[in-house]
Structure 1
């Protein structure tokens, strides 16, 4: 029997940035071959984890059991044919045709027709690790990150994916330990470096700048498209699940137990932002007017009109977890544990 639950505390073996743990049946674990997602009549009411705009072509959402949904207007959704049943955690389109989705079993899927059909580029159930986010700079250069420090890159549109390791993403203590081990015991070095990195949860990319957040207050920045990284000094010990640079240039990070931090000096210092809710926060996004939204567990939906300094409570009364969202003509398209929801945000609010 499948079990889905929203957890305030995260287990190492089941971490996702959505605070959702999935227990698979023995049969599914034993059978490593991918199985196509079932086409179901109410897929838009299933657990969905991410939603994005497809440039000039509508919207795409992903979620449980390999569900990928497409919409031209954010209101009517159709399920796409998908070759896996893994929980999908993130989707990204670089243009109207080329997109990628990632998820559990280190799954990476690719489409060249705007999401109508998908092909497997990577499926590694033996790893039992989820990928959490994916980004492409263009049709060729991309990256995917996930639990246990998983970090994959591609230079050929995903035809081949290569595992990457950056020593700078480890803590200072672990960097020193690994540097010594590399000299004295190269074989042990290769084994140990697999266990020293935190879970990577979310990417934010603007030009050549990449910010990445994760477990135990992890925040890192690259100014050259991921070629080199700098790990920022820890300011919080809990997991962070999203990062966003606002239109005014401030940085926001959000995570466990309603913790939100704001920086106006590119991460040199952080201010703890007081919120009217304490539920785990899953995502941050912004509309064209510069209004910021936080979504989270227990129906949490918060709005800021002052660049993230204060937030108002617009939480949903049904208490269902909201995993992500995006603005749409004065409304919000939200993906939740019970599917897609279109929510109006009136000017009076």
Structure 2
């Protein structure tokens, strides 16, 4: 009798475990439909991008975390975000209007300086967007062999699902902007993100390299990618043309002013051009660690940050970079300067605020 009861209890236990597993499976919610969880530890979790919106500093990171600070990073508030997908970049062209992007093709918009966010697009829609756009072009130009290839690319995205990360976002104003990502994924909007137009046919990137960053220097718009890919917007041709560079490793960012551009990336490589990318000079950084973030500070100095936590500074022009000590070393993936001059950094260990205007001496 005891033995029978034991087996009955075991069988009931197995049924209970299986039923709990079924219930858990039924309760699964896609990260694109699951709001980011509010957590006191969010500011110490991995962060990927950072920007300014007026006097506010805003940062984005894993699990849909978006945080903002109105006191130079001393205190942070977590924004209301409708997704829990990892976020990679954020951009505010005005003090109130901003966009963030991330994994699974997610595009978020805020109209209140980053306090609340709404989803405008995700990877479940992008494949169909490509198919519809390029199918229409194929019907209009049946002899153009490019369009069926791009239709097929969109169909592959539909079949593979929402797994294509967007890596950066840039807006010229509150209407016109771009999002870029893996495998030459690029979309443009001219109505603040209400609709998006695929731009794969407008890039000189036949091998489909990842598009890692997009930024303006004030007089030109550039896209930096892997394996030495650098693209520059040609307004007359309405496309991003390839700019030859002497480095074949990946670029992670572009920084510049009218008449000057720096592009930076793997193994401490930084290139500088003062003629729109026709000629390049390799700058001596003295580093072999990847440069992953940068900004131009209030005094017009370039500041570049590395995976190793170093900071490089170039006073005035970007002709010479000087290694500067920092009070703490943490991998840096995003940077902004607060209204009072403090440097606020984002990285794998969360956010870090440095004293205003740190000394330039090594």
The answer to whether the superposition gives a TM-score over 0.5 is yes
1:64 aligns with 62
The structure 2 residue matched to 1:145, chosen from 180, 200, 221, is: 180
* Cα distance in 2 for residues equivalent to 1:144 and 1:226: 20
TM-score (norm 2): 0.76
1:73 aligns with 71
Contact 1:330 1:346 in 2 (8 A): no
1:343 matched to 2:354? yes
- Alpha-carbon distance change, 310 to 96 in structure 1, aligned in 2, over 3 angstroms: closer
Within 5 A, what are the aligned runs for 1:23-38? 31=30, 33-38=32-37
4+ residue stretches of structure 1 with deviation over 6 A? 26-30
What is the CA-CA distance between 1:136 and the residue it aligns to?
Answer: 1.9
* Cα distance in 2 for residues equivalent to 1:78 and 1:208: 35
2:309 aligns with 299
Within 5 A, what are the aligned runs for 1:1-349? 31=30, 33-55=32-54, 57-75=55-73, 76-124=75-123, 126-166=161-201, 168-170=203-205, 174=206, 196-206=207-217, 209-224=220-235, 227-246=238-257, 249-305=259-315, 307-316=317-326, 319-328=329-338, 329-344=340-355, 345-347=357-359, 349=361
* Cα distance in 2 for residues equivalent to 1:145 and 1:272: 26
What is the CA-CA distance between 1:155 and the residue it aligns to?
Answer: 2.2
Contact 2:204 2:241 in 1 (8 A): yes
Tell me how large the CA RMSD over aligned residues is.
2.5
- Alpha-carbon distance change, 319 to 148 in structure 1, aligned in 2, over 3 angstroms: same
* Cα distance in 2 for residues equivalent to 1:204 and 1:28: 41
Provide, for residues 2-24 of structure 1, a one-character-per-residue CA deviation record: whole Å limited to 9, x for no partner.
Answer: xxxxxxxxxxxxxxxxxxxxxxx
Secondary structure of residue in 2 paired with 1:105: helix
Secondary structure of residue in 2 paired with 1:116: coil
Contact 1:299 1:315 in 2 (8 A): no
Provide, for residues 194-241 of structure 1, a one-character-per-residue CA deviation record: whole Å limited to 9, x for no partner.
Answer: xx3211111112557311111111111114299222211242110000
Secondary structure of residue in 1 paired with 2:43: helix
Gaps of 5+ in 1: 1-25, 175-195
TM-score (norm 1): 0.78
Contact 2:72 2:342 in 1 (8 A): no
What is the CA-CA distance between 1:316 and the residue it aligns to?
Answer: 4.3
Structure having the larger proportion of residues in strand = 1
* Cα distance in 1 for residues equivalent to 2:330 and 2:218: 35
Mark the structure with the bigger radius of gyration.
Answer: 2
What is the CA-CA distance between 1:37 and the residue it aligns to?
Answer: 0.8
Structure having the larger proportion of residues in helix = 2
Contact 1:276 1:311 in 2 (8 A): no
Gaps of 5+ in 2: 1-24, 125-160
* Cα distance in 2 for residues equivalent to 1:286 and 1:207: 12
Secondary structure of residue in 2 paired with 1:320: coil
